[in-house]
Structure formats: C-alpha cells, structure tokens
Structure 1
Amino acid sequence: MNVDKRKVPASVFLLVAMGITIISLVLVCAVGAADVTFMDVCDLIRYKVGMSETVEKSTYYIVWDLRFPRALVAIFVGGGLAVAGAVMQSITKNVMADSYILGISSGALAFVSVGAFFLGQSITVGWKTSFLAFLGSLFAVFMVMTIGGVKGNIGSTRLVLTGQAISITLNAVSQYFIYTSVAGNKSSSIVTWMMGSLAGVRWENVWITVIGIALCVGVLMSFARAFDLMALGDDTATTLGVDVARIKRFSLVLVALITGFAVATSGIIGLVGFMIPHIVRVFVGSTHKRVLPAAFVIGGIFLMWMDVLARTILDPQEVPIGIFTALCGGPFFIWILRKNIKGEN
C-alpha cells in the first residue's frame, strides 16, 4: 500500500499558513514609500471594525484605498495560479506544467496587443483590457480543447503539444502587433503588462477577480478525489467510476477562467503555478485534498511579498512583479529538472 508521507499534518500546516497570511496582510500594508507604520495599520483595522471613531485621512487613503486591495488581489491571484498549476500538473501528468502551459497567457496577450493596436490605447487595468485578456484566455483553451481532443477524450501528451503550438502561434500574433505599434508609449505599456503588475488594482476592479477565482478554486477542490484517482492512470480512474474526459474538460475551463481573471487584473505573472505546488507537496504530501488548499494559501503569501519587493526595491519606481517571480522560478525549474533526471538514472 502506498502511504502518502508528509512532514507535518495538513491541518497544522494550513492553520500556520493562514496565520502567516493574516500577519503578512497587515505587514505588507505597512510597507512602502509613504510613511505608514504597523500601528497605523492596526489603528485603521480598529476603525473599520468599529473599535475606534477616528483615523488619519492619509492613512485611510494609503492603506485602505491603495495597499489593502492590492494585497487582497495578490492573495487570490497567487493562490488561484498555484491551484491552477497543481491541477494542470495532475491533468497533464507533467511536473513542469503550470497554469500557462495551454497558451492561456499567449491568448490573453494576443487579444490585448491586437486590441491596443486597433483601439489606439495604452495598456492599463480597466474593463477593456480585462475583457480582452479574459476573452483571449478562453479562446486559447477553446482552441486547445478543439484540436487536442481525441475521440471524446483528452490525451495528456497531445494536450501539452497542442498548447505549445497554440502558444507559439499566438505569440507570433502578439509580437507582430507590438512591433507595428507606432506610438512608443503603447508598445511600452504592452511590454510592462507582459511582465505583470498589481499597480493598477483598486477596489472597483477587485471583486470580480476575487469572487471569480474563489468560485473556480472551490469547484476544483471538489474534484480532489478524482484528481487522485487520475494520478493512477486514466484507465484505472475510469474503472473506479471517474468520468475522466468530463473532469479534464471542466477542469481546463476552470483553469482558463482562473488564469483569465488573474491575467486581466495583474498581467502575466509567470511560474507561480509551477513552483508553489511542488513546494507544498514537500510539506503536506501529494493528496489533492491537502495540496490544493495549501497551494492556494502559500501562493497568496508568496505573491503578496513578491509585490512588496516589486514596489520597494527601486522606490519610488515600481518594478514589474513578473521579474521577481521569474528570478525565483528559473532556478527552481532547473532544480526540479535535475531532480527528475537523477530519478530516471
């Protein structure tokens, strides 16, 4: 019998991680160019829960209107991408997979770059950019499912190869329209958006992302047992009563929705969905009932602090957050690759 070994109980790990999330949420709201202290953030919390009648207007604006919604979105975007990555690694049976493996980010970028070219606008976080990115994400997954499906089922290898082909094609479309953008600021804004940023997050564009990702993650977590059985092989899972084709298709749509919400709000933030599932498996094992919630919490913590680094390291200038996730993800990718090569020898 194969026992899922883990270093700490999943419930303990989650409780500790959730505590770290709450503490981090307060701390990141106190870090930045403006002179706001930890106690200022605590004063605002007391004001919001009715334990205090006054709060400094500057503190209210900086913390509540700027930093808190940004941190909240970081939690859900980071957590959503981590869960999506774990699901993609399960569906494709590929340890190198993440939420962008099906060309989802390429679809979002292609639609945004084409839209910016024809609409003559710079890329900002707004409903037009969000809608185009979301539509592009769904288009990419639709193409992958249409081309990659085999006799009503979805072969893992063909799925990955189809995703790569779609990604290459859509990247070519993006590069053409970025290159032919006459206005320099338009092209520059697209490039910045490609590297990811939470700078444009405000309360008006928070709730669609938060609620959308939360609902999709909740549904994916309900498939945890099916993912465990699919890890034994599609034929075995089918014998045990899992509708593999339906679970895969539905999961792909949910992954596309999560990634679409994330990309529409924050641009393309890579490698979160690749790294975090591997990290949490070290602590809680490989059972998806434990991996998925743990990945969500750790992904949120990770992206919150990456965002702090992005907005403080060259203060007052802000660096795209995707640069720092890539700096973490690149060496991690090499480590996983070397680990798997040694395991095969």
Structure 2
Amino acid sequence: MIRLKPRQTFQMDVLIQKKRTFFLWTAGLSAAVLVSIVLAVCYGTVRIPPAEALQILLYKMLQADSGELSRAHMDIIWEIRFPRVLMAVITGAGLAMCGTIMQAAVQNPLADPYILGISAGASLGATFAVLIGAGGIFAGLGTAFWAFCGALGACLLVMALSGIGGQMSTVKMILAGTIANALFSAFTNFIIYTAGNAEGIRTVAFWTMGSLAAAKWSNLLLPALGVILCGGLFLCQSRILNTLLLGEEAAITLGVNLPRVHRNYMLATALITGLIVSACGVIGFVGLIIPHIVRGLVGTDHRRLLPFTILAGALFVTWADVLTRISLESGELPIGIITALLGAPVFMYILFKNTLGFSSK
C-alpha cells in the first residue's frame, strides 16, 4: 500500500476540487443554454407560454403526447423560431470560439474575425454571389461557397501581408487585418454602388447589419458541422494554445511549429466565419468581448476557457436575438446593432479596468 505525503494529498485534493468545479460550471452553463433555447422560442410577435413551447419541442423531437397543442403555435415554433434559436446558438458559439483562438494565436487582445478582416472577406463573397451571381461549374454551390471563398481570400491576404519582409509577427498580422478589412469593405461597397438590383441590395443590407431572420432547417447544417468539427479540433489543442500564451520565442523553443499553427488556425476560423456570415451576415463584437469576459472569470487556461467561451457565446447571441424581436412593436432590429450596442460598453469597461492582459489568472 502506497502512502501519500501530506503535500501530495493536498495537491490531489486541489486537483479534484478543480475538476469538480469545472464539471459544475460546465453543467450549469449547458443547462442555461438549454433553458434559454426553450425560453427564446416563446418571444416574438406572438407570445407562447414556456410550458406549451416545451411541450411542442418534446412532441416534435421525441414524439411525446401532443395533448391540446395549437397547430399555429406548433408551426411558429418548429418552422420559424426553433431553427432561428439554433442558428443563434451556433453563431454565438462559433464566433466566440474564433475570437478565443485568434487572440491566443496572434497574442493580441483585439483579434477576432471582424478585426482581422475575415468577416469583411466573407461579406464580399456573399455580396458577389447575390448581386453579380456565380455561373459555371460553381453555380450550384451558392452563397455559402462564395462567402467561404471571401473569408479564405481575406485569410490568405492577411497571412501574405504579415509575412512580407521576414518572419510573420502578431503586430504585422493585426495591421494586415486592418488593411484587408478596409480593402474588402471597399470592394463590397463598390459592387453595391454599381449594381442595379434593388432586391439584391436589400439582401446585401441583411448581411452588412446581421440578422437571423433567414434561418431555416435547410441552412443550419453547414454552419453546425463547421462549428462542431472545428470546435472538436480546438478543444484538443488546449496545450498548444496555452503554450502560445508564453510568447513566440518560448513556443518555438518548446517545439511548436508556429507557421503551421497560424496557418491551420486561420484556415479553420475562416471556414467557421464564412459559413456563419453566409447564413446570418456580419455580427460584430461577439468574438471580441465574450473571450475577455470569460477569461476574467476562469483564467487563461484554455482547458477551461475554450468550453466556457463556447457556451457563453451561445448564451449571448441567443438573448441578443430575443432583444431584436421584442425591441420594436412592429418588425425587428438587426442583431448586429444589438451586439454592437451591448458589446461596445462592455469592451470599454474591460479596457478601463485594464483586464485585457493574457497573463492574469
């Protein structure tokens, strides 16, 4: 029988307590997301009681007892609101995850898909698909394909510009992202200005301000697959992400292939961003503020930070979408406006509290 020393016993107790706390927080946030999904489908032009909404969801998913359910309420929830809420969960989780990965990869607290121009590239691709059209062999691939191409083009441009004159650096990457953002936004505005398609211009306005109104069962699959697959990849990369926090020189010394890591992470975030923008447009601040808020609560260890950020991002966008539906008596606000109005003050508070550093525990 092996006897543990008092110090070893104490360390094991601390480790067990940390694992228990992590499990409780994960379970609590997951439950909050599930409850928010049920509550979110209740709000809109027609208010539906939560008990009836839950019964409808159980009936549709598990073929439970339908009871005296309203057929109209059933169609509203299952055909309109539930796909929209699921899109909000996917969008929030994906953008928050991208922000966390990019902030760690480039070691800059301002890094997110919007700041680095990836969202602008995806928006350009979607604008091209809507207003100019894509013929030839790619005609059947639609807006999602061209939005991803735009995001990938922005990603490659940022990597190429940041590599000019020697080794790629994080400062160069941020500056290159600013250039890419301005360049792709200019091309998008040029296409809008010269296009004579009024209906297409209104559709593009949907992308520039962001909206979940077009969410349907048919366009949920690609964003969901992208977020799930890339999320699984990133959750297995916690050790490398933690190593990147030590700085470029330390990461190279510890055996991290920085060019390959940067390339793979940028391509994965471009994939997620392109799929999300193609479905619901440009939604800012999610990938910027959610990682900082969660980092201030749980620390910088990506084993805890990444799963909590994914769940917190899903919660944030879900309730931001609820606000878009209840803010106006007739119609709804674009979700990009809501996230900016909520995100800018929060980011200012974080900035003034000086909590942007990655080294704070």
The answer to whether the 8 Å contact 2:242/2:301 transfers is: yes
Structure 2 distance, partners of 1:113, 1:72, is 24
Query: Equivalent residue for 1:248?
Result: 262
Distance 1:341 1:212, change over 3 A: closer
Structure 1 unpaired stretches of 5+: 1-5, 121-125
Query: Equivalent residue for 2:63?
Result: 50
For residue 210 of structure 1, what is the amino acid of its counterpart?
A
The answer to whether the 8 Å contact 1:113/1:190 transfers is: yes
Structure 2 distance, partners of 1:65, 1:184, is 28
Of 174, 178, 181, 1:160 maps to 174
Offset of residue 113 of structure 1 = 2.5
Query: Equivalent residue for 2:350?
Result: 336
Structure 2 unpaired stretches of 5+: 1-17, 135-139
Instruction: State the identity %.
Output: 36
Offset of residue 273 of structure 1 = 0.3
Of 60, 75, 80, 2:74 maps to 60
The answer to whether the 8 Å contact 1:213/1:261 transfers is: no
The answer to whether the 8 Å contact 1:216/1:254 transfers is: yes
SS of aligned partner of 2:65: coil
1:215 aligns with 2:229: yes
Offset of residue 170 of structure 1 = 1.1
Query: Equivalent residue for 1:142?
Result: 156
Offset of residue 35 of structure 1 = 4.0
- The runs of at least 4 consecutive aligned structure 1 residues that moved more than 4 Å come to 150-153
| TM-score for both structures, normalised by structure 1 | 0.89
1:36 aligns with 2:76: no
SS of aligned partner of 2:353: helix
Distance 1:72 1:117, change over 3 A: closer
For residue 52 of structure 1, what is the amino acid of its counterpart?
D
Structure 2 distance, partners of 1:173, 1:307, is 29
Of 101, 122, 125, 1:111 maps to 125
Pairwise mapping of residues 1-345 of structure 1 onto structure 2 (< 5 A)? 9-47=21-59, 48-53=61-66, 55-119=69-133, 128-149=142-163, 154-340=168-354
The answer to whether the 8 Å contact 2:286/2:313 transfers is: yes
Which 10-residue stretch deviates more, 30-39 or 65-74?
30-39
What does the per-residue CA deviation read over 1:208-227, in whole Å, with 9 as the maximum and x for residues that have no partner? Answer: 11111111111112111111
Which 10-residue stretch deviates more, 149-158 or 307-316?
149-158
Offset of residue 149 of structure 1 = 2.7
Structure 1 distance, partners of 2:27, 2:65, is 29
Distance 1:249 1:115, change over 3 A: same
Structure 1 distance, partners of 2:240, 2:75, is 46
Structure 2 distance, partners of 1:299, 1:107, is 22
Structure 2 distance, partners of 1:13, 1:79, is 17
- Aligned residues between the structures: 332
Offset of residue 150 of structure 1 = 5.8
Structure 2 distance, partners of 1:155, 1:279, is 26
Which of structures 1 and 2 has the bigger CA Rg? 2
| TM-score for both structures, normalised by structure 2 | 0.86
Which 10-residue stretch deviates more, 148-157 or 20-29?
148-157
